[in-house]
Each structure stands twice: as structure tokens, then as C-alpha cells.
Amino acid sequence: MSSPSASLSATLQHLDLGASSDARGAVVWLHGLGAGADDFAPLVPYLDAPHLRFIFPQAPLRPVTINFGAVMPAWYDIRTLRRDADREDAEHIRTVSTELRDLLAALEDQGIPAHRIVLAGFSQGAAMALHVGLRYPRPLAGLLILSGYLVIEDSLETEADPANAATAIQFCHGSRDGVVPMASGRASFERLREGDRDLRWLDYPIGHEVCDEEIADIKAWLAERLPAGSSRKER
């Protein structure tokens, strides 16, 4: 596996697994707390999507309060396990959001329009994907939320962009998840049920992880959202 680079963004390093043919879409996939850009890269061959470009950003290193201040890759600090307003560091979230928006815009500049980009993530990465995707100013192809949840959700009503008010979202969650309880993911799903978006919920009898059945469901959803037959030059 190659080391993360910054070919799409001056501030956010990432792995770029280019399509084996001309890219007709892209998946930007964010890893979870303490993991790295290469965490989900081994899944790419199983998704059978040679027409897609997979971008795996790398979270910055920072101390994480709930892990006794240990320094690790983290999109934002988590201060407490309680579900309260001060649980996540909002400044970290907003800074990383700007960097992720820049990365998405750079993909567009390279010829992949927003409506051919899926923003995906696992755990803390899924929380960031949901946060950024709902606020992005151009319609995305979809949001793939694996064991994720809404962060600083009190700002959602005022910050959500109408461009992604109907963007498809698929939630996948383990019913035995002891890290991000399924109830947290389900509450976020229910918060987004208003309107006519294609919103789906799938759960599996697993913990804080992914399983073969989930990978098959991800593959099917990506094929639906980013089919091979569409051109990268669509606008």
C-alpha cells in the first residue's frame, strides 16, 4: 500500500486508488478513530467497481480525551462518553469539514462532478461524512454511514444545504456495537426521515465492525448510486 499523499488537497493527506479505467465516479471514504487511510482500502476489490476512484483521507494526529489523552488519528476529539452538547470538539469538526470540502471540490475540478461522488465513512469517519455531506453546496450521489451518528446536530437546521436535502443515505450498523451503540445511529436516522430522500437502514448481528453481508449490501448500493454506464463528463 502506498503512503498517503496530498495530490487533491494541500492540507489533507489521502490514499488515491484510481479507477482501472477512466473514472466515472468517486467514493471518498473516511476511517474511524485510531485507524488510518489504508483501513478500508482492502475492501475495494470486493466492491467490483473498477469504474470508480476510491479516495481514503487520513485524519490528523491529536490527543483524544476519552482515550486518556493518547495521540492518535482522529477527525475530532471526543471529550466524554455521555451524549451531551459538549461531547465532540466542534472546532476540530469545522476545521476538518473545510479540508474535506476542499478535497471534494478538487475532485470536481479534476472532472468528477459532485453528483458522481459518494461520501462514506465508518464510526467517527461516518459522523464526519454525515456532517459534511448534509452541508455540501452541490448535490452528492449519496452518503454511506457505517456505524455512524450526527455530531453537533443542533446546527443542522441552520447549516444544512438544500442541495443535499434529498441526497440518498444508507445507514449500516451492528446491533451488538458496544462502541457506537445502535441506538445512537438509529436516532440520527430518525432525525433525517423527514422529506422524500432515499433513506435506508440496515443492521447486522455484529459489533463495531463490518461483515460479509454488509460488504455485499455496500456493493449493491454503490452500484445503484454510481452505475458503471454513466460518464465522468456528466454535469
User: Is the predicted pLDDT of residue 230 greater than 70, yes or no?
Assistant: no
* Residue 82 domain-assigned (yes or no): yes
- Whether 128 and 108 have beta carbons less than 8 Å apart is answered as no
- CA–CA dist 102, 12 (Å, integer): 9
* Residue 2 domain-assigned (yes or no): no
Residue 148 has what pLDDT? 97
DSSP 82: S
Q: Provide the pLDDT confidence category of residue 34 given band limits of 50, 70 and 90.
A: very high
Q: Global pTM?
A: 0.93
* Residue 23 domain-assigned (yes or no): yes
Residue 229 has what pLDDT? 76
- Whether 210 and 32 have beta carbons less than 8 Å apart is answered as no
**Closest of 46, 54, 76 to residue 64, by C-alpha:** 76
Reply yes or no on whether 123 is catalytic: yes
Residue with the bigger pLDDT between 110 and 28: it is 28
100: three-class secondary structure by DSSP: helix
Q: Provide the pLDDT confidence category of residue 92 given band limits of 50, 70 and 90.
A: very high
The domain total for the chain is 1
Candidate list 123, 147, 184, 188, residue with the active-site label = 123
Reply yes or no on whether 177 is catalytic: yes
Q: What spatial distance separates the first Cα and last Cα of the chain, rounded to whole Å?
A: 33
Q: Give the CATH number of the domain where residue 58 resides.
A: 3.40.50.1820
Candidate list 38, 161, 208, 230, residue with the active-site label = 208
* Residue 7 domain-assigned (yes or no): no
- Whether 87 and 203 have beta carbons less than 8 Å apart is answered as no
pLDDT in tens, 137-177: 999 999 999 999 999 989 999 999 999 999 999 999 999 99
Reply yes or no on whether 14 is catalytic: no
Q: Provide the pLDDT confidence category of residue 87 given band limits of 50, 70 and 90.
A: confident
Candidate list 177, 184, 188, 217, residue with the active-site label = 177
* Residue 221 domain-assigned (yes or no): yes
Mean pLDDT (the chain) is 92
* Residue 134 domain-assigned (yes or no): yes
Cell numbers given for 201: 437502514
Residue-range definition of the domain harbouring residue 155: 14-225
Residues in the chain: 235
* Residue 3 domain-assigned (yes or no): no
User: Is the predicted pLDDT of residue 232 greater than 50, yes or no?
Assistant: no
